[in-house]
A and B are shown apart, each in its own frame.
Chain A
Amino acid sequence: MAAGFVLALLSACAVPIQELPPSLETVRVLRNQAVPPIALGPFTPASKEVGHSILILLGTLRPPKGCNFAEFLGATFEIELRAAGKFGSAARLQLGGVLTESRASEDFKTGGALGARIALTRAGWPVFAKDYRVEAKWHADIIGALAIEEAFNQYNALYDALVHQTQSDPDFVAAAKS
């Protein structure tokens, strides 16, 4: 009976990561810099472990059903592009990436980090590739349930942060407009 309760608790703690809304800061950069329309290319994990779930104590954060964390990063880029009116499914300029780092810990000294190699191609020809990385550290509550929730929210926010870092990078903007 006790084992059944523990199993139920474990399975009950698997939650999907969720999309966050677009940010004013990123939308402003895309519009003010007159970035042309961008289509979404492939987003792949560098390894199976990177695209898989995040485990914090007894909690598991998993990608949305049917996709991995790399594809979720791509979806986050798409949200910002659409909000800025800069998404074009048939655009010659295409944005893709490889998720190279994805981690979060309940240990506040370690925190969490997200890294990706982001690439732009134009009509199939590579025009830009660069590594981007964001990290966060936070105070972990002594209560496990609260520590899990905080870690998941902090990790979730890394996707928006990496997208903002990329799309506000002058190198990225210059390559998109070239």
Chain B
Amino acid sequence: MKFYVANAIGEVKPEEKVTPQTRQPVQVLFEFQRDGTPNAEATKLVTPWAIEDIKATGAFSHVTDAPSANGAILSIKFNNIVVKEELNKTKKQAFGAGLGFGLFGGVLAVDHDRVSIDEMSATGAAPIHTEVKHELYANYGKKDVDVPGAEYKNADAAVRLLVRQALSRGVNDIGAEPAFPR
């Protein structure tokens, strides 16, 4: 099986990057969801990655899951969505691919991720909100399928990249908002 991270978002380019002159500390609240329902296992796995990725953006002076001195919060809800019609179609294709021992089928399954990010710079401040969409493709069966993404043989590596790209894009979008403290 091969995994692909969609090309649509990519990395934040140097000319796009927004870095505040005066960085503030922030408390991170991260939750991984499946179809809108919190998933404790996935949250536990992905949270350390998310904290590291947010630190790497350079947008905050200190990143932690504990309350910060200024009351600033960065809330992230990482929602993995299953589109029923796509899933049913993939199941039918997979059945066909299985019958041909994978020789005839090239089955592409799509993981949709909708990342909702809210930033509050202090207690009582109005939150700044942004949303990022990203996709992960899984191709199985011997037949190659055209995929608009970068290939990874390892699912973990693909998911790590997807999380990093989604968060760095989202944090950058938040930082570009006029209300974000500079």
A→B interface (CB under 8 Å): 17-24, 27-28, 31-32, 82-85, 138, 150, 153-154, 156-157, 160
Contacts and interface: CB of A to CB of B under 8 A. Distances in A.
Q: Which of A21, A23, A27, A83 has the most CB of B within 10 A?
A: A21
Interface of B: 27, 29-31, 34, 37-41, 43-44, 47, 65-67, 71, 73, 75, 118, 120, 123-124, 127
Q: Which of A17, A24, A31 has the most CB of B within 10 A?
A: A24
Contacts of B124: 31-32
A17 B39 CA distance: 11
Contact of B29 (A24, A32, A154): A24
Contacts of A85: 67, 71
Contacts, number: 56
Given A23-B29, A23-B31, A84-B67, A18 B123 contact: no
Q: Is the interface of A mostly helix, strand, loop or mixed?
A: helix
Nearest to A84: B67
Q: Is the interface of B mostly helix, strand, loop or mixed?
A: mixed
B37 A153 contact: yes
Given A27-B73, A83-B67, A154 B37 contact: yes
A153 B29 contact: no
B121 to A, nearest CB: 13
A20 B65 CA distance: 13
A24 to B, nearest CB: 4
A18 B41 contact: yes
Contact of A31 (B31, B38, B71): B71
Given A23-B29, A24-B75, A83-B27, A157 B123 contact: no
13 contacts: A21-B43, A22-B29, A24-B75, A24-B120, A31-B123, A83-B27, A83-B66, A84-B67, A85-B71, A153-B37, A153-B40, A156-B40, A160-B38
Given A85-B67, A153-B37, A157-B37, A21 B120 contact: no
Smallest CB-CB A-B distances: 5 pairs: A18-B40, A24-B75, A85-B67, A31-B123, A157-B38
